[in-house]
Amino acid sequence: MHEVDIADFILQSIVRHCARWAEVCLNITASHFSRLSPIKGNLPLLQSLEIRIVDDFNLFEDLDIPESLDCFSLAPRLRAVAIGNIEDTTDISTLPWGQISDLKLHFFTVAGPITDVLQLATQARSVTLSCCSILPGHDHFPSNIFTHSLESLSIILDQESPDLSQCFRMWAMPQLNCLHLSTPEVDPLWMDGSDLDEFPLFVQRSGCVITTLSLINLRLNDINVIMLLECLTSLVDLTIHECRGDEQNLSLTSLLLQEMTIDHRASSNSHFVPHLKKMNFRIHVPFATSLLVSMVQSRWIPDDIDAFEIGVDCLGVVKIQVLVRGDPPMDPLLRPLFAMKARGLQCTVSFDKLG
Distance between CA atoms of 287 and 324, rounded to whole angstroms?
11
Q: What is the pTM of this model?
A: 0.88
What pLDDT, on a 0 to 100 scale, did the predictor assign at position 144? 65
8-state DSSP, 273: S
> How far is CA 66 from its chain centroid?
28
What pLDDT, on a 0 to 100 scale, did the predictor assign at position 331? 65
- Where b means 16+ CB within 10 Å and e means fewer, 64-97 reads eebebbbbbbbbeebbbbbbbbbeeebebeebbb
pLDDT at 286 over 50: yes
Distance between CA atoms of 178 and 234, rounded to whole angstroms?
11
Confidence of residue 193 (pLDDT cuts 50, 70, 90): low
**pLDDT digit string (tens) for 307-341?**
999 999 999 999 999 998 877 666 676 788 888 88
- Residue 329, SS3 per DSSP: coil
- Average pLDDT of the segment spanning 223-230: 94
pLDDT at 137 over 80: no
**pLDDT digit string (tens) for 147-179?**
899 999 999 887 666 567 777 888 899 999 999
**pLDDT digit string (tens) for 42-86?**
999 999 999 875 544 444 444 556 778 889 999 999 999 998 876
What pLDDT, on a 0 to 100 scale, did the predictor assign at position 147? 86
What pLDDT, on a 0 to 100 scale, did the predictor assign at position 57? 42
